[in-house]
Structure 1
Amino acid sequence: MKPPIKPRRRAPGRPLKVMMLGLRGLPRLQGGVERHVEELASRLARAGCSVEILARQPYVERKGPHRWSGLLVMPLPAPRVRSLEAVVHTFVGVIHAARRGPDILHIHAVGPSLLVPVARALGLRVVVTHHGFDYDRAKWGRVAKTALRLGEWAGMRFADRRIAVSHAIAGTMTERYGVPVATVPNGVTPQARPTSTGALERFGLTPGRYVVIVSRLVPEKRHFDLIEAFAQGAPEGWQLAIVGAADHEDTYSRLVLSAAEATPGVVATGFQSGLALRELRAHAGLFVLPSSHEGLPIALLEALADGLPVIASDIPANREVGLPEECYVPVGDIPALAAAIARSCARPLTEAERDAARARVSHAYDWDTIAGEIRRIYESLHQNEDREPDTDGLIPIPRPSP
């Protein structure tokens, strides 16, 4: 597609001007896209890019333009209606970008990608990142699922450059739409294990003696499976910490909280960030992610970076992380999940095993390397606009089994 308005040329020596659109906002909002953008954008800014984040006004504390960690955060209107929030905000964001004229408009997720043709028609150079098959999420009805599939199509067909957070997504997009898609994954930031335990004390948790899940309260995370499996398989004296909340309170989130309250040993902490989140994850005895849908789960990568033993559902996104076979359980198989929890709790990892896991994930999913690869994709639009960069990328993540 050739846009009717010719994109503006970047003056030699001027910092690359990037706008990011498709997330709720930052900092410290729950969600994989939000965490991805927060980590990526701050590194691009430190590398000399001028980065503006187009946030959804209801999700950020400061409602006017402001600076955070070297980024310009621009809150724009968004209705607090789940089915309209993303598309309305993205439309407003595209118009804002057309007026400001960035070198790159980077749109995240398939829903906001619905507006890629509009952005191209307005003369913007557009990069899209596919974070996961959002139309497979249980919360969406038929109309929303159709719109999300249309957004995926629009993003893949009309963007200047296309990125996926996993090889599985990239391969599916290339096969489905016949376009090159670069694989650039989510990442982790290695940190020392906190010595403090204030959050554990607040929720009555004992270091090393609880199972943790960190996620939003949405159906595809399958919290009920975990609560039931914990009740069946956890050793005496262990607890389960459910860390996270719902963006929009609904029947599912209320039922999860009710089930947590009714099940002995289960604690729901609500949304946590910063040091409290670090404490709750790093001091756990086991991390579990039984979800039916993921892109490439940052929460799982961060648990591995903390050296935790993990159990994950047997889906392509989790398989791509390359865990030992015994760490995977079939989606919805509660007896298998209960047995895996009991087995893992009975055999804590040695420090050598923890160190090996930390080293592997920190090397394979390094945010600094990821930011450098994204910058290379941006620059390819200005150095040689007719040539797509190598779609294999620089990131040495394992490929899924055939």
Structure 2
Amino acid sequence: MKLPKYISNSKLNIYNPMKICIIGSRGFPGIQGGVEKHCEALYTSMCSQHNNIEITVFRRKPYITSSPSYKNIHFIDLPSTKIKGFETVIHSFFATCVAITQSPQIIHFHNIGPAMFSPLAKLFGIKVILTFHSANYEHKKWGKFAKLLLKGSEKIALSQADKVIFVNKFQLQKSPKKYNTKYIYIPNGIPKVSFPKNVNFIQSLKLESKKYILAVGRITPEKGFDLLIKAFSQINTDYKLVIAGGVETETGYLKKLQDMIPPLRIVFTGYTTGDNLKQLYSNAALFVLPSRNEGFPIVLLEAMAYQLDVLVSDIPATHLVDLQKKDYFKLDDENSLIKGISDKLQNITSRKYDLTNFNWDKIALKVYDIYHNI
């Protein structure tokens, strides 16, 4: 009797699966954040393609909205604070300790902050993989001490990891060369999209199809929504501006944004997902990404998948996709953003982009191969 390939050619099979623990995401589904979207797409795709793997995702209880059943994916939910600066440290420490008791072959840390505890995993002979999503210490929201802690975490993470996955090739090129044999570039992927016929959500917001500009992201200063609102307020147009994103600790920043422009011209939807988010994308006239800092913006890929015309800040992360010169405005330059929006609104058009390099199934296969080889 000939055994199936995954049994005959590998020590790891469905009866002795690879056990992988995931630390660094707040969890999924229905939890806001790029890392959260990344993990949900990556691991659901990976487990749909392979039987010989068990994924354990450590989630943070204050953010959990549901616990659906996924093939070969298990959740361990741990208490966590929402206090900025403490949330990641406290949760990552407890998650690492609990993960060690699960005896996994690999602990996969997502981002440099959680990976400060990777030496604990190595102490128990567990392999470590790091996905470097962004250089968090570049975010203006962090104080001096937090930035020093994050830079220290980066050094620990890069030195301890058996493999480092960068979603941003420019960040890879900036990272210390002495660890470059561990480095690999694997970008974020594009989610599967659908164009809903229903428009009840945008109608509830008093929006008209193709008569609004859309921006999507967490309400934090590095996303640049203050700059976008300033620029939009200077443009004489009957288009509305829609900002879809939730606020966590930056409530003062949200209040500042809400006070900047008359409410009839701007709509804050809060954190939006599922069919409601699909409605926002598929009925928008233009997508704008005003970010000051990004790792790899999944929301930009989503907008491109919905064939939207786009206008993005000129930062390294937005050059990871193939855009035209007219799709960029100068970073933090209000006049450049005003001109970019005004020019785009004069010729609203749908676009088709080549997104073949951003297929989640192919990305999941690459990460799976890393697990298998490690």
- Is the TM value for this pair above 0.5? yes
AA aligned to 2:121 is: A
AA aligned to 1:328 is: Y
Give the distance between the partners of 2:168 and 2:38, measured in 1 at CA. Answer: 13
- Asked if the contact 1:246/1:253 (under 8 Å) is kept, the reply is yes
Give the distance between the partners of 2:178 and 2:332, measured in 1 at CA. Answer: 28
* Aligned twin of 2:3: none
* Aligned twin of 2:64: 60
**Residue 169 in structure 1 maps to residue 171 in structure 2:** yes
AA aligned to 1:125 is: K
Unaligned runs of at least 5 residues, structure 2 = 1-9
Alpha carbons of structure 1 residues 205 and 17: separation in structure 2 relative to 1, 3 Å: same
Give the distance between the partners of 1:59 and 1:338, measured in 2 at CA. Answer: 36
Give the distance between the partners of 2:308 and 2:201, measured in 1 at CA. Answer: 18
* Aligned twin of 2:265: 265
* Aligned twin of 1:385: none
Picking from 202, 215, 223, the partner of 2:217 is 215
RMSD in angstroms over aligned alpha carbons? 1.6
Give the distance between the partners of 2:110 and 2:137, measured in 1 at CA. Answer: 15
- Asked if the contact 1:162/1:181 (under 8 Å) is kept, the reply is yes
AA aligned to 1:302 is: E
Give the distance between the partners of 2:215 and 2:237, measured in 1 at CA. Answer: 19
After superposition, what is the alpha-carbon deviation per residue over 1:207-230, rounded to whole angstroms, capped at 9, x for unaligned? 111001000000011111101111
Residue 263 of structure 1 deviates from its aligned partner by: 5.2
Residue 118 of structure 1 deviates from its aligned partner by: 1.6
> What is the SS of the residue equivalent to 1:68?
coil
* Aligned twin of 2:291: 291
- Between stretches 307-316 and 187-196, larger displacement belongs to 187-196
Matches within 5 A, 1:32-51: 32-47=34-49, 48=51, 49-51=53-55
> What is the SS of the residue equivalent to 2:122?
helix
Give the distance between the partners of 1:12 and 1:210, measured in 2 at CA. Answer: 51
What's the % identity of the aligned pairs? 31
* Aligned twin of 1:192: 194
**Residue 280 in structure 1 maps to residue 273 in structure 2:** no
Matches within 5 A, 1:293-312: 293-312=293-312
TM-score, normalising length: structure 2:
0.92
Picking from 368, 372, 380, the partner of 2:365 is 372
- Between stretches 26-35 and 243-252, larger displacement belongs to 243-252
Matches within 5 A, 1:105-116: 105-116=107-118
Residue 136 of structure 1 deviates from its aligned partner by: 0.7
Residue 68 of structure 1 deviates from its aligned partner by: 2.9
Residue 198 of structure 1 deviates from its aligned partner by: 1.4
- Asked if the contact 2:230/2:260 (under 8 Å) is kept, the reply is no
Residue 11 of structure 1 deviates from its aligned partner by: 5.5
- Between stretches 76-85 and 245-254, larger displacement belongs to 245-254
> What is the SS of the residue equivalent to 1:312?
strand
Residue 176 of structure 1 deviates from its aligned partner by: 7.1
> What is the SS of the residue equivalent to 1:259?
coil
Residue 177 of structure 1 deviates from its aligned partner by: 4.8
After superposition, what is the alpha-carbon deviation per residue over 1:221-241, rounded to whole angstroms, capped at 9, x for unaligned? 1111101111223x5320000
TM-score, normalising length: structure 1:
0.86
Matches within 5 A, 1:1-400: 12-13=12-13, 14-47=16-49, 48=51, 49-61=53-65, 67-70=68-71, 71-175=73-177, 177-233=179-235, 236-260=237-261, 262=262, 264-350=264-350, 354=351, 356-357=352-353, 360-361=354-355, 363-381=356-374
- Asked if the contact 2:46/2:361 (under 8 Å) is kept, the reply is no
After superposition, what is the alpha-carbon deviation per residue over 1:16-43, rounded to whole angstroms, capped at 9, x for unaligned? 2211110111102111000000101111
Unaligned runs of at least 5 residues, structure 1 = 1-9, 382-402
AA aligned to 2:306 is: D
- Between stretches 78-87 and 129-138, larger displacement belongs to 78-87
After superposition, what is the alpha-carbon deviation per residue over 1:142-175, rounded to whole angstroms, capped at 9, x for unaligned? 1111111111111111111111001111111243
Residue 189 of structure 1 deviates from its aligned partner by: 2.0
Residue 178 of structure 1 deviates from its aligned partner by: 4.6
> What is the SS of the residue equivalent to 1:300?
helix
Residue 254 of structure 1 deviates from its aligned partner by: 2.2
AA aligned to 2:367 is: I
- Asked if the contact 2:188/2:298 (under 8 Å) is kept, the reply is yes
Alpha carbons of structure 1 residues 176 and 299: separation in structure 2 relative to 1, 3 Å: farther
Alpha carbons of structure 1 residues 67 and 276: separation in structure 2 relative to 1, 3 Å: closer
- Asked if the contact 1:98/1:123 (under 8 Å) is kept, the reply is no
* Aligned twin of 1:3: none
AA aligned to 2:214 is: V
AA aligned to 1:84 is: F
> What is the SS of the residue equivalent to 1:80?
coil
Give the distance between the partners of 1:265 and 1:314, measured in 2 at CA. Answer: 26
AA aligned to 1:348 is: I
Give the distance between the partners of 2:233 and 2:257, measured in 1 at CA. Answer: 14
Give the distance between the partners of 2:180 and 2:40, measured in 1 at CA. Answer: 31
AA aligned to 1:81 is: I
AA aligned to 1:273 is: T
- Between stretches 365-374 and 222-231, larger displacement belongs to 222-231
- Asked if the contact 2:30/2:65 (under 8 Å) is kept, the reply is no
- Asked if the contact 2:12/2:18 (under 8 Å) is kept, the reply is no
> What is the SS of the residue equivalent to 1:349?
coil
- Asked if the contact 1:157/1:179 (under 8 Å) is kept, the reply is no
AA aligned to 2:132 is: H
Give the distance between the partners of 2:317 and 2:12, measured in 1 at CA. Answer: 40
